[in-house]
C-alpha cells in the first residue's frame, strides 16, 4: 500500500496492511543522528510528508549569531533567543503586545497573490529567506512527496495570535478584551484560509491540514471550555468546514491536557487529534474506547520511555498501540517530537517494535 492509502485507511477505518507512521525531530536530534529529515523518512518508511503555509503578518525577519546562542525576529511577530540547536525558545518581545500596536499592524493580515508565496516545501518558522512565487511553490510541492499522505501545516488562530500579541497577553485579553482578541482570531483565520484557498486554486496537491494549536498545559487546559466555545470554537469550525469542503482531512496537533475540549473538537468536525502528550491524563487506548467511532488518534508514545529504551518502551508501545489500532483510527507518532535524549539506536528500536506489533 502507499502511504496515502494507509493514512486514509486509518482515518476512514478501511482495511490497511499496517498502521501509518510519521515523526518529527528536534534540530539537535538531527545533528546528533547526522541525518536529514528526508533521510530518516526514507529509512523508516514514513507514510506522510509535511509542507508549510505562512499565515503570519510577515514582519521583517533576521537572526543574529551569538556563539552558543542565537537571537531572532520571526515573521509571526515575536522576538526570541535560544541555545543553538534547541527547540525551546525564550520569548523577549511581541510586535502587537499593546492594543495600539495591534491597530498599527492589523493591515498586515492580507494575502498578496502577486508577491512571494505563502506556501512552500520549506518551513517558515524563523525563516529569513524569501519564498518562491506562488506557482513555483505549488509546482515544487506537487513534485515532492510522491505517493505519501500530504499535510499542509499552519498555526491555528490561538497559536498564530499569541505569537504576535504574547502568550500571557492573549490569555488575559481573552477575558479582559475579548472583542480585540476575536478581531485578531478572525483576521488570522481569514489569512490562513485565504492563502490555502489560493494555493488550492493554483492546483496544490494536499490531503490534510495539520493545524498546530497547543490548547493545554501538562495539568489542565489553558482556558475554560466555555471560553473556548465562545472565542475559538467558531474559528476552528470555519477551518474544519473549509478543509472538508475542499476534500481535506484535519489533524490538530495540541500539546498538553486537552480532554475537556475533545467533545467540542468532534462537534466542529476534527478528524485526528495529535500528539496526545503522555504525561497528562491522555491515554490513547482509553480515548479510543470512549471516542473511537467519532475521532481518530495519532501519537501518545512517550519520548521519555523512548529515552529509557528496553522494556520500558516496549511496554509503552504494546499497552497503547495494540488496543488503539484495532478497527483502525490510530496513527503512530511520538507524544510530541524526538529529542536528543532518544539516541539513534533507541529510535531504531522503536521502529523495530512498531514493525513487529503494528501489522494488521
Summarised one tens digit per residue, pLDDT across range 208-224 is: 999 999 999 999 999 99
Which residues are 161's β-sheet partners? none
**Measured distance CA(65)–CA(70) in Å, rounded:** 5
Residue 161 has pLDDT above 80, yes or no: yes
330-345: average pLDDT: 97
Residue 85 has pLDDT above 80, yes or no: no
Distance of CA 275 to the CA centre of its chain: 9
Summarised one tens digit per residue, pLDDT across range 43-57 is: 999 999 999 999 999
16-31: average pLDDT: 96
| Mean pLDDT for the chain overall | 97
pLDDT value of residue 300: 98
Categorize the per-residue pLDDT at 205 as very low, low, confident or very high, splitting at 50, 70 and 90.
very high
60-68: average pLDDT: 95
Residue 318 has pLDDT above 80, yes or no: yes
**Measured distance CA(296)–CA(313) in Å, rounded:** 23
Q: Which helix (H) or strand (E) holds 185?
A: helix 178-201
> Which of 194, 74, 196, 64 lies closest to 137 in space, CA to CA?
196
Do 166 and 66 touch, CB atoms closer than 8 A?
Answer: no
pLDDT value of residue 117: 98
Summarised one tens digit per residue, pLDDT across range 117-158 is: 999 999 999 999 999 999 999 999 999 999 999 999 999 999
Summarised one tens digit per residue, pLDDT across range 214-269 is: 999 999 999 999 999 999 999 999 999 999 999 999 999 999 999 999 999 999 99
Q: Which helix (H) or strand (E) holds 253?
A: strand 249-254
Which residues are 332's β-sheet partners? 21
Summarised one tens digit per residue, pLDDT across range 279-292 is: 999 999 999 999 98
pLDDT value of residue 266: 98
Do 81 and 90 touch, CB atoms closer than 8 A?
Answer: yes
Categorize the per-residue pLDDT at 84 as very low, low, confident or very high, splitting at 50, 70 and 90.
confident
Do 123 and 178 touch, CB atoms closer than 8 A?
Answer: no
Among residues of the chain, what percentage have pLDDT more than 70?
99
Categorize the per-residue pLDDT at 31 as very low, low, confident or very high, splitting at 50, 70 and 90.
very high
* Phi, psi (deg, nearest 5) at residue 113: -85, -5
Amino acid at each position: 500500500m502507499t502511504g496515502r492509502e494507509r493514512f486514509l485507511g486509518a482515518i476512514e477505518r478501511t482495511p490497511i496492511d499496517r498502521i501509518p507512521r510519521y515523526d518529527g525531530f528536534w534540530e539537535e536530534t538531527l545533528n546528533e543522528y547526522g541525518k536529514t529529515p528526508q533521510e530518516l523518512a526514507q529509512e523508516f518508511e514514513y507514510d506522510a510528508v509535511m509542507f508549510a503555509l505562512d499565515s503570519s503578518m510577515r514582519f521583517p525577519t533576521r537572526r543574529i549569531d551569538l556563539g552558543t546562542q542565537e537571537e531572532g525576529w520571526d515573521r509571526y511577530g515575536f522576538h526570541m533567543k535560544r541555545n543553538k540547536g534547541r527547540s525551546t525558545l525564550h520569548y523577549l518581545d511581541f510586535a502587537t503586545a499593546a492594543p495600539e500596536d495591534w491597530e498599527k499592524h492589523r493591515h498586515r493580515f492580507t494575502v498578496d497573490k502577486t508577491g512571494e508565496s505563502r506556501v512552500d516545501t520549506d518551513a517558515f518558522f524563523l525563516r529569513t529567506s524569501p519564498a518562491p512565487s506562488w506557482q513555483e511553490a505549488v509546482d515544487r510541492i506537487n513534485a515532492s512527496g510522491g505517493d505519501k499522505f500530504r499535510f499542509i501545516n499552519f498555526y491555528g488562530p490561538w497559536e498564530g495570535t499569541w505569537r504576535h500579541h504574547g502568550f500571557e497577553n492573549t490569555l488575559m485579553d481573552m477575558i479582559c478584551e475579548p472583542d480585540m482578541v476575536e478581531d485578531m482570531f478572525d483576521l488570522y483565520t481569514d489569512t490562513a484560509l485565504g492563502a490555502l484557498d489560493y494555493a488550492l486554486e493554483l492546483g496544490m496537491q494536499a490531503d490534510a491540514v495539520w493545524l498546530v494549536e497547543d490548547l493545554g498545559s501538562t495539568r489542565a487546559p489553558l482556558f475554560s471550555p466555555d471560553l473556548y466555545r465562545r472565542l475559538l470554537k467558531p474559528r476552528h469550525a470555519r477551518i474544519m468546514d473549509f478543509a472538508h469542503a475542499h476534500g481535506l482531512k484535519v489533524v490538530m496537533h495540541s500539546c498538553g491536557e486537552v480532554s475537556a475540549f475533545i467533545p467540542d473538537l468532534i462537534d466542529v468536525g476534527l478528524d485526528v487529534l495529535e500528539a496526545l502528550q503522555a504525561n497528562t491524563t491522555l491515554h490513547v487506548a482509553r480515548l479510543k474506547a470512549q471516542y473511537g467511532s467519532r475521532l481518530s488518534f495519532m501519537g501518545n508514545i512517550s519520548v521519555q520511555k523512548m529515552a529509557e529504551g528496553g522494556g520500558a518502551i516496549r511496554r509503552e508501545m504494546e499497552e497503547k498501540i495494540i488496543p488503539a489500532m484495532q478497527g483502525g483510527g490510530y496513527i503512530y507518532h511520538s507524544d510530541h517530537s524526538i529529542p536528543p535524549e532518544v539516541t539513534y539506536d533507541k529510535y531504531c528500536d522503536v521502529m523495530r517494535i512498531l514493525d513487529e506489533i503494528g501489522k494488521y
